[in-house]
Amino acid sequence: MRRRIVLFLALTLVATTAWPAGKVARPRVYDLIAGGEQDYTVAPGDNLWAITGRFTMSRALLQTWNELPDVDALRPGMHLRVSNRHIAPRRGSDGIVIDIAVRTLYWFQKDALRARFPIGVGRADWATPPGHYRIVGRRQDPVWHVPPSIQAEMRAQGEKVVRDVPPGPDNPLGKYWIQLSAPGYGLHGTNAPASIGKYASHGCMRLLPEHVEFLYREGRDGTPVDIVYEPVKLARDAGRVYLEVHRDVLSGKRSELPAVLDFIEAAGLTEAVDATRVADAVARAWGTPEDVSLEPPAGPSARVVPVSDRSEAVGGTTAAATNDPGPASGVPSGTPRRPSLR
């Protein structure tokens, strides 16, 4: 407890905004960090918005790593250091996990991370609903029956109001629709690939055409789908503690240091973390795993599972999570305003 008080005093000097601190249930402590860093060559027409979406990377991290003074600093042929490294919120040995905070879909089979894809999720006012669901149906060349709520939005914005959109290039559902057990919600393709990796939909989850086709052909009805929203995550591996902090996009606020401290304490890791490292990670909110261990590293850092599209994962551990009493809590969860089919 004394160390908890000292840590709190050290960190509240840089506390910023309003995610209210308080008692939280014991959070999950994950054991898998997936992805990695790579060199990316800027292509003609690229911009920061598209690149960060493709790699589910925060703009602040991309600009800091590459010393980019502003969003107009990109030039074709420029080499960038990028990363899609994240703590994977594994829920079980088989199934799909959708991480709203990272805009990423993870697919686990037989306790291995088989693949992961960047996705577009619901924007703040049409938030994708966290929860436990299953795949209950799949359709090729779906017709989009526009929900009345979206028709009302079209009308309010002065757009032409449509009730049904047939299959084809103008259909925002793309070529494949994967229905979830939540009425009105599903996984689908898109005719707006630049929106992948962003909070851009009316609640559904959109993927690049080749990714949704892969899930459509390889997935099965009954597959569990867990949708989680955790702006703050913890992982532990080989005695090291990793903290990943994102800005809480659904509330428009940053994670508050006292609340993160409560989160760490609830996980039983207060004695294992360094105050300065935690402060830095929370202040930056880079959205990437940062080593906040009390002791300096004496060897290799966490096992990292590099997973490219449609590839088998290599490495990782078998446990779904440690300190795992049930659904994670203590971080905000988005609630949708209205059901949607887009």
pLDDT 10s digits, 17-35:
333 344 557 889 999 999 9
CA distances from 300 to 276, 290, 291, 296, 305 (A): 21, 14, 12, 11, 14
The answer to whether the CB of 188 falls within 8 A of the CB of 171 is: no
> Using one digit for the tens of pLDDT, what is the confidence trace for 131-143?
999 999 999 999 9
Percent of the chain surpassing pLDDT 90 = 53
* Helical residues (DSSP H) of the chain, grouped into ranges: 2-12, 48-54, 59-66, 148-156, 209-218, 257-266, 275-284
Q: Where are the alpha helices (DSSP H) in 70-178?
A: 148-156
Catalytic residue among 188, 202, 211, 246: 188
Q: Is 228 exposed, middle or buried (0-12, 13-18, 19+ CB in 10 A)?
A: buried
- Active-site choice (86, 132, 145, 204): 204
Helix (H, G, I), strand (E, B) or coil at 49: helix
Q: pLDDT digit string (tens) for 41-79?
A: 999 988 888 899 889 999 899 999 999 988 778 999 999
CA separation for the pair 188, 211 (Å, rounded): 9
For residue range 78-98, what is the model confidence (pLDDT) as tens digits?
999 999 999 999 988 899 999
Q: What is the pLDDT of residue 146?
A: 84
pLDDT band at 203 (very low <50, low <70, confident <90, very high): confident
Side chain identity at 212, as an amino acid letter? V
Q: What is the pTM of this model?
A: 0.79
Would you say 194 and 148 are in contact if contact means Cβ atoms under 8 Å apart? no
Structural domains in the chain, sorted by start: 2-32+230-305 (no CATH), 37-83 (3.10.350.10), 121-228 (2.40.440.10)
> For all residues of the chain together, what is the average pLDDT?
80
Q: Is 204 a catalytic residue?
A: yes
For residue 2, pLDDT beyond 60:
no
* Interatomic CA distance for residues 206 and 220, integer angstroms: 18
Give the number of other CB atoms < 10 A from CB of residue 45: 8
pLDDT for 335: 30
- The reply to whether 79 belongs to the active site is no
